A and B are shown apart, each in its own frame.
Chain A
Amino acid sequence: MKGVQQTNWRGFFIFTALVLIFPLLISKSFYITQATFAGIYTIVAIGLGLLMGYAGQISLGQAAFYGVGAYTTAVLTATMGVSPWLSLLFALLIPALLAWVMGHTMSRLSGYYLAMATLAFGIIVNVLLVEWRSVTYGASGFYGIPNIELFGLRLTQGTTYYYFVWTIGLLVLAVSLNIVHSRIGRALRSIHDSEIASGAMGVDTGKYKMQIFILSAMFAGLAGWLFAHMSYSISPSSFGLDASILFLVMVVLGGSTSVWGAVIGALLITSISVLVHNLGLRFSFISSDFEHVLYGLILMLVIIFMPRGLFPTLVDWLKTKGWTTKVSSRADKVQS
Chain B
Amino acid sequence: MGDFLQFIVTGMTIGSIYAIVALGFVTIYSVTKVINLAQGEFVMLGGMLMFTFTAAGIPYWLSFLLTLIVVSLFGMLMESTVIRRAGGADPVSLIILTIGAAIFIRGVASMIWGKGSVRIDPFTSNQSFQFAGASISPQSIWIMLIMFFIVISLYILIERTILGKAFQACSVNPKAARLMGINPKKMSSLSFTLSAGLGALAGLAIAPIMFPSYDVGIMLGVKGFSAAILGGLGSAPGAVLGGIVIGLVEAFGAGYISSGLKDAIAFTFVLLILLIRPSGILGERSVGKGGL
Q: Is the interface of A mostly helix, strand, loop or mixed?
A: helix
Closest chain B residue to A214 by CB distance? B292
Q: Which of A112, A123, A206 contacts B91 (CB 8 A)?
A: A112
Please tell me if the beta carbons of B271 and A105 are within 8 angstroms of each other in the complex. Answer: yes
| Central interface residue in A209, A245, A294, by most chain B CB within 10 Å | A245
Please tell me if the beta carbons of B91 and A57 are within 8 angstroms of each other in the complex. Answer: no
Q: How far is the CB of A214 from chain B (nearest CB, A)?
A: 10
Please tell me if the beta carbons of A293 and B107 are within 8 angstroms of each other in the complex. Answer: yes
Please tell me if the beta carbons of A300 and B100 are within 8 angstroms of each other in the complex. Answer: yes
Please tell me if the beta carbons of B222 and A290 are within 8 angstroms of each other in the complex. Answer: no
| Central interface residue in A103, A107, A114, A116, by most chain B CB within 10 Å | A116
Please tell me if the beta carbons of A299 and B99 are within 8 angstroms of each other in the complex. Answer: yes
Closest chain A residue to B268 by CB distance? A124
Please tell me if the beta carbons of A209 and B292 are within 8 angstroms of each other in the complex. Answer: yes
Q: Knowing A108-B278, A123-B263, A307-B89 are in contact, say whether A300-B229 is a contact too (CB < 8 A).
A: no
Residues of B within 8 A of A109 (CB): 274, 278, 287, 291-292
B215-234 contact mask (Cβ, 8 Å, vs A): 1 or 0: 00010001001100100010
Among the stretches A7-15, A126-134, A257-265, A321-329, the one at the interface with B is A126-134
Please tell me if the beta carbons of B288 and A110 are within 8 angstroms of each other in the complex. Answer: yes
Please tell me if the beta carbons of B291 and A298 are within 8 angstroms of each other in the complex. Answer: no
Please tell me if the beta carbons of A107 and B100 are within 8 angstroms of each other in the complex. Answer: no
B246-278 contact mask (Cβ, 8 Å, vs A): 1 or 0: 000000000000101101100110110011001
Q: Knowing A52-B92, A120-B270 are in contact, say whether A300-B108 is a contact too (CB < 8 A).
A: no
Q: How far is the CB of A118 from chain B (nearest CB, A)?
A: 9
Please tell me if the beta carbons of B99 and A245 are within 8 angstroms of each other in the complex. Answer: yes
Q: How far is the CB of B38 from chain A (nearest CB, A)?
A: 10
Interface: B55 (CB within 8 A): no
Q: Which of B86, B102, B264, B275 contacts A128 (CB 8 A)?
A: B264
Residues of B within 8 A of A152 (CB): none
Interchain CA distance A111-B136 in the complex, whole Å: 40
Closest chain A residue to B218 by CB distance? A241
Please tell me if the beta carbons of A303 and B86 are within 8 angstroms of each other in the complex. Answer: yes
Residues of A within 8 A of B104 (CB): 292-293, 296-297, 300
Interface: B173 (CB within 8 A): no
Q: Knowing A117-B271, A300-B82, A304-B85 are in contact, say whether A107-B96 is a contact too (CB < 8 A).
A: no
Interchain CA distance A185-B91 in the complex, whole Å: 23
Residues of A within 8 A of B85 (CB): 304
Interface: B116 (CB within 8 A): no
A240-281 contact mask (Cβ, 8 Å, vs B): 1 or 0: 010001001000100000000000000000000000000000
Please tell me if the beta carbons of B292 and A57 are within 8 angstroms of each other in the complex. Answer: yes
Residues of A within 8 A of B86 (CB): 303-304, 307
Q: Knowing A124-B267, A293-B104 are in contact, say whether A114-B229 is a contact too (CB < 8 A).
A: no
Number of B interface residues at 8 Å Cβ cutoff, please give it.
49
Please tell me if the beta carbons of B290 and A245 are within 8 angstroms of each other in the complex. Answer: no
Please tell me if the beta carbons of A113 and B278 are within 8 angstroms of each other in the complex. Answer: yes
In the complex, which residues 119-153 of chain B have their Cβ closer than 8 Å to any Cβ of chain A? none
Q: Which of A110, A111, A241, A303 contacts B97 (CB 8 A)?
A: A303
Q: Which of A107, A293, A298 contacts B290 (CB 8 A)?
A: A107
Interface: B194 (CB within 8 A): no
Q: Knowing A127-B263, A296-B101, A303-B97 are in contact, say whether A195-B110 is a contact too (CB < 8 A).
A: no
Q: Knowing A112-B35, A113-B274 are in contact, say whether A299-B290 is a contact too (CB < 8 A).
A: no
Please tell me if the beta carbons of B106 and A110 are within 8 angstroms of each other in the complex. Answer: no
Q: How far is the CB of B280 from chain A (nearest CB, A)?
A: 8
Please tell me if the beta carbons of B226 and A296 are within 8 angstroms of each other in the complex. Answer: no
In the complex, which residues 289-333 of chain A have their Cβ closer than 8 Å to any Cβ of chain B? 289-300, 303-304, 307
Interchain CA distance A108-B278 in the complex, whole Å: 6
Residues of B within 8 A of A213 (CB): 292
Interface: A48 (CB within 8 A): no
Interchain CA distance A55-B292 in the complex, whole Å: 8
Interface: A121 (CB within 8 A): yes
Q: How far is the CB of A144 from chain B (nearest CB, A)?
A: 24
Interchain CA distance A209-B278 in the complex, whole Å: 18
Interchain CA distance A8-B280 in the complex, whole Å: 45
Q: Knowing A110-B289, A195-B289, A303-B97 are in contact, say whether A116-B261 is a contact too (CB < 8 A).
A: no
Interface: B179 (CB within 8 A): no
Q: Knowing A213-B292, A248-B99, A297-B100 are in contact, say whether A117-B274 is a contact too (CB < 8 A).
A: yes
Q: Which of B222, B225, B290 contacts A110 (CB 8 A)?
A: B290
Q: How far is the CB of A299 from chain B (nearest CB, A)?
A: 3
Interchain CA distance A103-B271 in the complex, whole Å: 12
Residues of A within 8 A of B260 (CB): 127, 130-131
Interface: A93 (CB within 8 A): no
Interchain CA distance A226-B110 in the complex, whole Å: 32
B residues engaging A (CB < 8 A)?
A: 35, 82, 85-86, 89, 91-93, 95-97, 99-108, 110-111, 218, 222, 225-226, 229, 233, 258, 260-261, 263-264, 267-268, 270-271, 274-275, 278-280, 287-292
11 residue pairs A–B, Cβ–Cβ below 8 Å: A58-B92, A109-B291, A110-B289, A112-B233, A115-B35, A116-B270, A205-B290, A210-B292, A300-B101, A304-B85, A307-B86
A residues engaging B (CB < 8 A)?
A: 52, 55-58, 102-103, 105-117, 119-121, 123-124, 127-128, 130-131, 195-196, 205-206, 209-210, 213, 241, 245, 248, 252, 285, 287, 289-300, 303-304, 307
Q: Assuming A116-B226, A289-B107, what are 19 further A-B pairs, CB within 8 angstroms?
A: A103-B292, A106-B292, A109-B291, A109-B292, A113-B280, A113-B291, A115-B95, A121-B271, A131-B260, A195-B289, A206-B290, A245-B99, A289-B111, A292-B104, A293-B108, A296-B100, A296-B103, A300-B101, A303-B89
